[in-house]
Amino acid sequence: EAGVVQSPRYKIIEKKQPVAFWCNPISGHNTLYWYRQNLGQGPELLIRYENEEAVDDSQLPKDRFSAERLKGVDSTLKIQPAELGDSAVYLCASSLSPGELFFGEGSRLTVL
């Protein structure tokens, strides 16, 4: 069974540029999460989807971040415009049953 797939693995952009990350969850997993992990810290939840509905986006900086999960499968996370402080690893995770999350390898963003 394929795991959670994320792309790109690495992205380097200049500040004020837009960037997008893509996530394909494990087949059949209806819950999808986007986390951000800063260096030396644990992952922090940005948004959680149940199917195509965002049920928890309280920690998503909505002025520059947006996310969508069309058809309740793949998801994209966009940052526009990016700031220096957005440099981090963006992790996507999915789950079938509550609790056990399966994470992708992450997308490492560097903003110069």
Contact footprint for other proteins (CB under 8 A): 4, 31, 40-45, 48, 56, 59, 91, 93, 95, 97-106
At its nearest, how many Å lie between other proteins and the CB of residue 91?
6
CB of 4 to other proteins, least distance (A): 7
Closest C-alpha among 86, 107, 98 to residue 4: 107
Nearer to other proteins, 17 or 102 (CB): 102
> Residue 58 CB, nearest distance to other proteins (Å)?
8
Between CA 64 and CA 30 the distance in angstroms is 26
Pick 17 or 30: Cβ nearer other proteins: 30
Torsion angle, alpha carbons of 47, 11, 103, 74, to 10: 60
Q: Around 1, how many Cα atoms within 13 Å sit in the side-chain half-sphere?
A: 8
